[in-house]
Amino acid sequence: MANLKELDFMIKNRPNLIRKNKILILLAGATALILFLFFLIQQFTSEVNWNLFDFIIASGFLFGAGLASTFSYIIYCLRATIFLIVELS
């Protein structure tokens, strides 16, 4: 009987789990897109000269900033997130 209760709980909370995974997938996609733009720019100009280490560090910063803003939005309300972003800039 415990397994049926767990299954029922998982089915009821499935949209929340999918939504959370979508956020992480969107963050990873946005990070990859931004880094791909820098990679393309690097092919056409000598002003951007990044190696693999630079891309790894930049991806950590971008993904970390996205996660931090997402978690702050989840934990606090929208006003608190906007206040935090304005206060930090």
Q: What are the residue ranges spanned by the domains of the chain?
A: 2-88
pLDDT grade for 2, boundaries at 50, 70 and 90: very low
CB atoms within 10 A of CB 79: 8
On whether the CB atoms of residues 41 and 48 are closer than 8 A, the answer is yes
- The pLDDT tens digits for 6-43 are 556 555 655 555 566 788 888 899 999 999 999 999 99
> Is-above-0.85 flag for pTM?
no
Query: What is the model's pLDDT at position 88?
Result: 64
- The pLDDT tens digits for 37-82 are 999 999 998 888 889 999 999 999 999 999 888 877 776 655 665 6
DSSP characters for the chain?
Answer: -HHHHHHHHHHHTHHHHHHHHHHHHHHHHHHHHHHHHHHHHHHH-SS----HHHHHHHHHHHHHHHHHHHHHHHHS-HHHHHHHHHHH-
Q: 32-53 burial, b for 16+ CB within 10 Å, e for fewer?
A: eeebeeeeeebeeeeeeeeeee
